[in-house]
Structure formats: C-alpha cells, structure tokens
Amino acid sequence: MDDSADYVIVGGGSAGCVLAARLSEDPSVRVVLLEAGGEGRDFLVKMPAGTAKLMGHPGFDWCLPTQPDPSIGGRRMQWAAGKALGGSSAINGQVYMRGERSDYDAWERMGCTGWGYDAIFPYFLKAEKFHGPPSQSHGSHGAQDVSPIQDQQPIGQHVIDAFVQAGIPLNEDYCDGSQNGVYRIFATQKDGQRSSTARSYLEPVRHRPNLTILTRAEADRVVIEGGRATGIEFRHEGQRRTIAARREVLVCAGTLLSPTLLMRSGIGPARHLAEHGITVQADLPGVGQNLREHNSISIAKLVSIPTMSAQLGPFRLVRHLLNYLLFKRGMLTTPAVQVMAAFRTDPDLPDPDIILSMLPVAVNFNDKGAAVVEQRPSFSFGFHVARPQSRGEIRLRSADPAEKPVIDHRLQSAQSDVDKLVRGLKIVEGVCRSPALASIITGTLRPDPLPTSDAEWEAYVRGFGGVGYHAVGTCRMGPDGDALTVLDPQLRVRGIAGLRVVDASVMPEPVSANTNAPTIMIAERAADLIRNGG
C-alpha cells in the first residue's frame, strides 16, 4: 500500500463506509479506509436475526464495559459497538428511522447552521434505496437498502389495533418528519438479508483503484504537526505503520471510540490529558462529554396467539433455518422490532416524548448484555425517552490504545427522563387493556407483580432500565463561542486543521429515533461539505 492518501478515514462503520464510497467517486483523489474489525461478511451478519448472537461476541462487538452507575442502582453494563466493516450497522437491529422534523430544527437553532430539517431531508432521500411502494418521502436511487419487513407476526396487528383503540393513530408514513402514532417499521435490508453500510455503500465500489480498504487496521493516534492533522499511526498485522493524509483525516470511530482517539492524539480536556502524560495539541473540554443515550426499559406479556418466542425451540429453528438458507424467507429474516409507536406522555407537548418498540419475543438483557429469551408465546415493549436529558462522559483509562475507555454513563440521572418512562409505562399498560390486546394477553412476565404506584414504577425503571444502543454526542458540533463544542457545523475539529469527525458522536442533541439512518445522513452531508471545501 502507498503510505499516503488524500483522505484517510478511521473506522468503516455506518458513517465511514458512506464517506469512503462518496469521496472515492472522484477518481482524482485517493482514499484509504482503516477498520479495526474484519470484513463483516459472516453468516450471522447477513442473517437479520443474527443480531442477538452478534451482540457481546468479541469478533464483532467491542464489548465495552461501563462504570457502576448510581442512577441505575450501581449496576455495570456492557455496551455494544460494532467492530467490522459496516460497524454498528453490521450488528444492529436494522430498524430504519429518521426522527422528527423538530429534532433537526433544534440543531439549527442551537447554531448548527445547515443542519435544519429542510437542509438535511434531501440527504435522507439521497442515501436511500427504498424497496417499498413509491413515496415522496423515500428515495429510490441511493445506496442504503430499506425494505418493508417480510415476515410480519400476527401480534403486530393486535398491537396496532390496540393503540388505535386507545386513541393513538395509525401513522401511514413515519418517515415524513412526523413519527407520531403507531406503525410497521421498515428495515435496512434487501431480499431478506441485512444491508449494512459495508454491503450497501462499499461492496459496489470496492474495485475502484483509488480506494484502499484495510481491515484489522486499528488507529492508535492522529499525527499532528504544527496544528495540522497529517496522518494516522495504526497497527496492522502486528506492525506499527503510519499513513499520511494530504488533505484530511476523517475520524469515524463512533460515539464511544472517536473521543478516545482524539484524546490519545492530544485533543481534549487539557487536565485530563495531562493526567495521562499526553501532550496537549488542542484543549477542547467537550471531547468525551455530552454522552447521551436513549435510556430504556421494557415490559413483557404472555399471550394466547403464536409469536416468535414459541418458534425458538430447536426443531422449529431447523425449519426456519432451512427456509432462510433456501429461500431467504421466514422468521430469521425479520428484525426483532416489527411495530413501533411514538406518543406524548403529556398532551401539551409539541412532539412525542416516548418511542416504543414492539418485539414479537420476550427478550431481556442481563447485565452482561446477553439476551434471555422466553419460549412461551409472548411479546415485549421496549421504551426509549425520545430526547433524553441524562448525560454521561467518556474518559481515557490510560494513554495505551489497547485499553478500553471509561464509560461513565449516568443513564437515568435526569429525573425528567425517569418520570417520562414512568408515565409512558402507565399509558402502555392502559393500551394493553384495549380490546385488541386484552383479548389475547394471558399474563404479565415483567414487571411481576405490576407496580401499583409511581414509586414502584420508578424502582422498576432504575432496577431494570438499560441502554438503547443509540449513543451520541461525545464530539458534538455547535457554534463558535460554545466552549463545550468539539466541532464547528462543518464538522471540523476546533483548533486543528485537516481533521474532522463524522459519525454519531457529532450530534449535539439526541434525535427521536434509532440512530443509524441519521448517522448515514450526516455522512452523506459531510461528504458534500468535504468535497466542496466547506
């Protein structure tokens, strides 16, 4: 490999694959993509139901432990982050969601010029290759496959009917900037298989002579000379190597690892860097701060109709496996989430404050992130606070790149987040009493017994609440003059030339949605900013 390129991209995840594909469209520039994980072409990655096995699997997941969190009873968790080409889009739940118009308009109002809804909407369309019926709010010529779910479970219709009976309307098109209501979701899939960004963006362009992709190549630090990023030091096949960047270094290592790479390179809170003996290149106190997550809680019910839970015994699984292998059809093509709802816990709110996912299985996660599945017919609801206020931070454990970062998340530290979840839980228990669900629910799995007061619901949230796997915000963009912003609205790192961050970490505030499609949108827009010299 040549030891220089115009653009060196660190991290081939949701954002990194988009940038590699878009920037290498210009044959006159040379692009190198460094990815710490492998190729991500494995059977479990391609099969949609493989998600459950990929989470916590060290071959595909960074498996990042957290600090004990006092806001959830001192529990430690393990956060998942994809480690392969495709990044977290290679292990995620494949739910396709964009968020509310008002999410992005709030970014613009905060000083993130150019990120309001009207400006970013065309990038959602540009990114998308929609395989459903033609619609003005979907793109059909992009790279990212988005498909209706093939194997709809009957429980989904019961859930939709129950919400409508409870006064929460059916939303025919949740991708048009308003997610209010209940709906069947679309998935980042094609022909019954996962469509990670590695598959959708990178595969078709890998042959380009101006694009080099190195897997198992882990970046240690950004090389900075005279206030400019000039390259990347990385490890590959047991060797230390350096690659020079003639134009820019683009950091796309994700919310949990981009700030770590910046800090190891001398970009971050000066005092913290000094603690680890790292020479300060730019004192940016916001690096690693503003860690935001969709704090979540779930409930589970037993039902009298078949759901996926009852299909998970070994004999039935063999039949489903054959159906998948031979025809790419059936239960193993389905993401775990099939129906979602967004609703307000207070009628005076302008937008939904709870995002609800219905899973046709009753799944729980233990504190190591492992799924525990109920085999009787059952389903579960997972709740996220749409725009959580709880904040945590990422710090360095040491200057050694082999050390995992300190994740200090404080997941339910904002009482307002807990209160929203409690109100949301009570509303959904009410929906479960609507005829369409009451007629099939035969019992409650979790919580058992059902809480009878707000205090008991709060104890349930703090005792059993977890993450939504949608971490954002640790290298946030924002206006000049805001000391905690890491990037300007063009995603350029403050104080260092030739360096940008492009991934979920740049979001200044969480969006009311799962974060893959928003991250792809960010990378699409970033590619234009980079090409236009913005």
Ligand X SMILES: Cc1cc2nc3c(=O)[nH]c(=O)nc-3n(C[C@H](O)[C@H](O)[C@H](O)COP(=O)(O)OP(=O)(O)OC[C@H]3O[C@@H](n4cnc5c(N)ncnc54)[C@H](O)[C@@H]3O)c2cc1C
Closest by alpha carbon to 512, among 180, 256, 146, 91?
180
- Least Å distance, CB 182 to ligand X, is 18
- 51/365 Cα distance (integer angstroms): 13
Cβ at position 251, least distance to ligand X in Å = 9
Q: Quote the least distance from Cβ 471 to ligand X, whole Å.
A: 7
> Whole-angstrom Cα distance, residue 473 to residue 409?
12
User: Minimal distance in Å, beta carbon 400 to ligand X?
Assistant: 12
Give the relative orientation of helices 101-109 and 117-127 as an angle to the nearest 10 degrees.
130
- For residue 401, count other CB atoms closer than 10 A to its CB: 16
- Write 107-115 long-range contacts (CB < 8 A, 24+): 107/507, 107/508, 107/509, 110/478, 110/479, 110/508, 110/509, 111/478, 111/479, 111/482, 111/489, 112/477, 112/478, 112/479, 112/489, 112/508, 113/479, 113/489, 114/489, 114/525, 115/477, 115/489, 115/525
Query: What is the smallest separation between the CB atom of 214 and ligand X, expressed in angstroms?
Result: 9
Which CB sits closer to ligand X, 378 or 516? 516
The alpha carbon torsion through 328, 330, 333, 334 (nearest 10 deg) reads 160
Q: What does the block give as tokens for 412?
A: 């339910």
Told to judge if 470 belongs to the known catalytic residues of this protein, a careful annotator would answer: yes
Which tokens hold the place of 481?
């003059």
Whether the ω angle into residue 204 lies within 30 degrees of 0, i.e. cis, is no
**3-state SS string over 252-289?**
CCCCCCHHHHHHHCCEECHHHHHHCCCCCCEECCCCCC
Two structure tokens written together for 40: 């991500």
Q: How far is the CB of 62 from ligand X (least distance, A)?
A: 7
User: How many of the other CB atoms lie within 10 Å of CB of 308?
Assistant: 25
Q: Which is closer to ligand X, CB of 335 or CB of 424?
A: 335
Residue 100's closest CA among 170, 172, 178?
178
Q: Least Å distance between CB 13 and ligand X? A: 2
Nearer to ligand X, 36 or 361 (CB): 36
Q: Of 147, 228, 297, 207, whose CA–CA distance to 497 is shortest? A: 228
Positions touching ligand X (CB under 6 A) are: 10-16, 34-37, 55, 80-83, 87-89, 91-95, 97, 218-219, 252-255, 257, 261, 469-470, 503-504, 514-517, 519
Q: Please say whether the beta carbons of 502 and 486 come within 8 A.
A: no
Q: Which two tokens stand for residue 42?
A: 């494995």
For ligand X, the closer of residues 197 and 485 by Cβ is: 197
Structure token digits, residue 68: 């004990």
Beta-bridge partner residues of 357: 340, 382
**Phi and psi at residue 7, in whole multiples of 5°?**
-120, 130
For residue 315, the minimal CB distance to ligand X (Å) is 28
State the residue number with the nearest CB to ligand X.
Answer: 13
Residue by residue, DSSP assigns 283-337 as E-TTTT--BB---EEEEEEEESS--GGGG-SHHHHHHHHHHHHHHS-SGGGS-S-
CB of 166 or CB of 217, closer to ligand X: 217
Structure tokens at 370: 């492992």
The residue from 294, 320, 409, 470 that is catalytic is: 470
User: 286 vs 510, which CB is nearer to ligand X?
Assistant: 510
Sign of CA dihedral 278, 284, 285, 289: negative
**Whose Cβ is closer to ligand X: residue 236's or residue 446's?**
236
Pick the closer one to ligand X by CB: 148 or 451.
148
Q: Are 506 and 476 in contact (CB under 8 A)?
A: yes
Task: Give the single-character DSSP code of 523.
Answer: H
Residue with smaller CB distance to ligand X, 337 or 422: 337
- As measured in angstroms, the least distance from the Cβ of 357 to ligand X is 9
Query: Which residues are marked as active site?
Result: 470
